Amino acid sequence: MSLARHAGRIVLGTFMVGAGVLHLTTQRQEFQAQVPDWFPLDDDLTVVASGVVEIGLGAAFVALPRHRRTVGALLAAFFVAIFPGNIAQYVEGTDAFGLDTDRARLIRLFFQPVLVLWALWGGGVWPRERRDDD
């Protein structure tokens, strides 16, 4: 694995652990505001569950380099799964995390595909890296 991919994996994993901790602590209400009205689960349950998932995936991305492809793919899938919530925040005009204009919420939407690609790249899924043991 290249040094750049290794660093990218560590940075993204650390970012995810931090975001997950914020879901469970100081930013819990901000995250609750982002849960779309149409989502069938309780807002707090959704925030807590997604925070736990973020901590688990982030920690695994950092601590389990042998499983980086699997974890990178799961992390990318997680980013895809939460994207409808980001779209809902834009469509519904929900203010959270300083995203208090349609323009700011729209710009945010373009960062989600970057996170998906970052997870796939950091995990060596795309473009596919040659395994050390291949």
The answer to whether the Cα torsion of 120, 71, 3, 21 is positive or negative is: positive
**According to the model, what pLDDT value does residue 103 have?**
95
Look at residue 131 in the predicted model and tell me its pLDDT: 59
- CB 85, CB 34: distance < 8 Å: yes
pLDDT value, residue 133 = 46
Environment class of 110 (CB within 10 Å of its CB; exposed 0-12, middle 13-18, buried 19+): exposed
- Give the separation between CA 51 and CA 31, rounded to whole angstroms: 10
pLDDT digits (tens, 9 = 90+) for 39-48: 999 999 999 9
Whether this model's pTM surpasses 0.85: yes
pLDDT < 50 positions in the chain = 133-134
Instruction: Please state, in angstroms and as integers, the Cα–Cα distance from residue 50 to each residue in 2, 47, 128, following that order.
Output: 30, 5, 28
